[in-house]
Amino acid sequence: MKKPKAKTNVFNEEEDDELEPSKQITIHLFIESTMSTTNKSQSKAVASSATKTLQRGPIFHDTADSFDVLQTTIAKLAPCAVKNLVISKMWWKFEMPLGGLHKLLANDIGYNAMVSAAKAKKGDVAVFVYMPPPVKVEEVWLILNPIIIISEGQHLSDMANGRSWSSSRSIGCRRGDS
């Protein structure tokens, strides 16, 4: 008599995650800023822009880590707070081929695409991450000052002395001035 084969659950996602080992990737961070320059020639001024690139890293990132962990690591390299990173304008590409396309790394979907592509590559994987400079986020403090409404002809010194305006009198005449 034959033994029945054990059934496997093909839809069990937990087993798929355990079968797929994490991989360590090398990430190089490039902070790019655009500077406008003006070159003056004899006849006219020519405006142009130049890109200044600052390289940070490399860092080693585990593909099992989340996008939040990568953001925190990038913020430490930048150095800035995570809230100062311009996440919506972050791009990534593999080190090879040199002319490879930049892909968006602005959210979890872009991050998961990068991780999937890195896991599919054989051997060591190096990823270049490009981003604009961090922004300065300033806290805005709302200071409420009393609003003082002054009628035409009224002076602040009159209000400080306790004098008020009479609505029945003509503009510019204080009470007691007739």
pLDDT value, residue 93: 94
Cα–Cα distances in Å, from 84 out to 19, 134, 159? Answer: 37, 5, 46
Three-class secondary structure assignment of 35-85: EEEEEECCCCEEEEEEEEEEEEEEEEEECCCCHHHHHHHHHHHCCCCHHHC
Q: What is the pLDDT of residue 53?
A: 85
Give per-residue pLDDT as tens, 35-61: 767 666 666 767 777 778 888 889 999
77 with 57: CB under 8 angstroms? yes
Point out which residues pair with 94 in neighbouring strands: 127
Query: Tokens 């020639």 appear where?
Result: 41
Question: What are the tens digits of pLDDT across the range 48-94?
Answer: 777 788 888 899 999 999 999 999 999 999 889 999 999 999 999 99
pTM above 0.75, yes or no: no
Express as a percent the part of the chain with pLDDT over 70: 60
Sorted by where each starts, the structural domains of the chain and their CATH numbers stand as 22-38+48-131 (3.10.20.90)
Confidence of residue 97 (pLDDT cuts 50, 70, 90): confident
- Among 158, 126, 7, smallest CA distance to 172 is for 158
SS3 at position 113: helix
- Tens-digit pLDDT profile for residues 145-169: 555 555 555 555 555 555 554 444 4
Quick check: 35 and 50 in contact, CB under 8 A?
A: yes
Better-predicted residue by pLDDT, 159 or 4: 4
Closest alpha carbon to 27 in 70, 59, 73: 59
> Quick one: pLDDT band at residue 140, thresholds 50, 70, 90?
very low
Determine the pLDDT at residue 170: 43
What mean pLDDT value characterizes the chain? 76
Residue 73: HSE in the Cβ half-sphere, 13 Å Cα cutoff: 18
